[in-house]
Structure 1
Amino acid sequence: MKEKTKKHSADNVTVMQNDFTKAQHSQKRIFQREKKAHMRRLSLIFFVGAALIVPCLWKTVGNWLEINRLDDAIALARTEKKQAEDKNTQLAYEVKLLQDEEYIAKLARSKYYLSKDGEVIFSLPEDNETKMAEKQGNATDSDS
Structure 2
Amino acid sequence: MDNQYVRSTEQRKAAQRKASFYVKRRMLLLCIAAVLIFGGLIINIFDKKKELAEREKVEVAVAQRLEEVKQDQEILHAQVKKLEDDEYILKLARKEYFLSEEGEIIFTMPSDKKEKNEQEEEKNADE
> If the TM-score is normalised by the length of the shorter chain, which range does it land in?
0.7 to 0.9
Match of 2:13 in 1: none
Match of 1:122 in 2: 107
Match of 2:56 in 1: 71
- Partner Cα separation in structure 1 for residue 123 and residue 56 of structure 2: 37
Where does the alignment leave 5 or more consecutive residues of structure 1 unmatched? 1-32
Q: 1:139: Cα distance to partner? A: 1.8
Question: Any idea what SS the aligned residue of 1:83 has?
Answer: helix
Question: Any idea what SS the aligned residue of 2:78 has?
Answer: helix
TM-score normalised by the chain length of structure 2? 0.75
Residue 106 (str. 1) matches residue 91 (str. 2):
yes
Which deviates the most, 100-109 or 120-129?
120-129
Match of 1:136 in 2: 121
- Partner Cα separation in structure 1 for residue 68 and residue 75 of structure 2: 11
Q: 1:125: Cα distance to partner? A: 2.1
Question: Any idea what SS the aligned residue of 1:117 has?
Answer: coil
Question: Any idea what SS the aligned residue of 1:51 has?
Answer: helix
Question: C-alpha deviations, 1:28-87, integer Å up to 9, x for none?
Answer: xxxxx8xx9698676445422211101211221121111111101101100110000000
Look up the equivalent residue of 2:96 and give its one-letter code: K
Residue 80 (str. 1) matches residue 65 (str. 2):
yes
Select 2:36's aligned residue among 10, 28, 51.
Answer: 51
Identical counterparts, % of pairs: 26
Where does the alignment leave 5 or more consecutive residues of structure 2 unmatched? 1-16
Match of 2:10 in 1: none
CA RMSD between the two structures: 2.1
Look up the equivalent residue of 2:100 and give its one-letter code: S
TM-score normalised by the chain length of structure 1? 0.66
